[in-house]
């Protein structure tokens, strides 16, 4: 049984709209973990939200003039491609693994992306503000 994933203060990037996006993403991954018949629909909604969140976050990084934007964007693109691929695969042949393992994979990626990669721009922005 999948466990409930939670946003914590340690994940705050210091921008309320992006924190809200992250909370919504976590909510959707939780929904996916417990979805059954409507798995593809929930998965599709999650992929849409991932795409629009990445756009908002990248626009924010661009506005900031964040120097790490290219590699950050590359990580977003690689993940969005991977999730799109997973959704296509599910639609064609279902998953061999359980739905819980899919949401675990998504959660593991998102959590480490927020705590490591997103935190880099959060710390950079904070340091720039202070100087």
Which residues of the chain form contacts with Fe ion (CB under 5 A)? 57, 118
| Shortest CB 121 distance to Fe ion, Å | 8
| HSE toward the beta carbon, residue 21, CA cutoff 13 A | 22
- Residue closer to Fe ion, measured from CB, 99 or 111: 111
- Residue closer to Fe ion, measured from CB, 99 or 118: 118
- Residue closer to Fe ion, measured from CB, 40 or 74: 74
- From CA 1, how far away is CA 70, in angstroms rounded? 37
Instruction: Decide: 107 and 1 in contact? Cβ < 8 Å.
Output: no
| Shortest CB 97 distance to Fe ion, Å | 25
| Shortest CB 95 distance to Fe ion, Å | 26
Residue 23 CB partners (closer than 8 Å, separation 6+) = 7
| Shortest CB 39 distance to Fe ion, Å | 25
- Residue closer to Fe ion, measured from CB, 57 or 99: 57
Helix ranges, the chain (H): 16-34, 39-64, 69-93, 99-112, 119-130
């Amino acid at each position: 049984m999948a466990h409930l994933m939670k946003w914590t203060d340690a994940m705050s990037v210091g921008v309320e709209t992006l924190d809200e996006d992250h909370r919504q993403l976590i909510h959707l991954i939780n929904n996916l973990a417990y979805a059954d018949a409507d798995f593809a629909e929930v998965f599709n909604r999650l992929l849409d939200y991932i795409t629009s969140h990445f756009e908002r976050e990248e626009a924010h990084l661009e506005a900031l003039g964040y120097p790490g934007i290219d590699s950050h964007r590359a990580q977003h693109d690689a993940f969005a491609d991977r999730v799109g691929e997973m959704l296509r695969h599910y639609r064609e042949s279902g998953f061999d693994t359980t739905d819980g393992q899919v949401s675990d994979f998504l959660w593991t990626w998102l959590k480490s992306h927020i705590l490591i990669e997103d935190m880099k721009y959060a710390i950079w922005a904070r340091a720039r503000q202070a100087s």
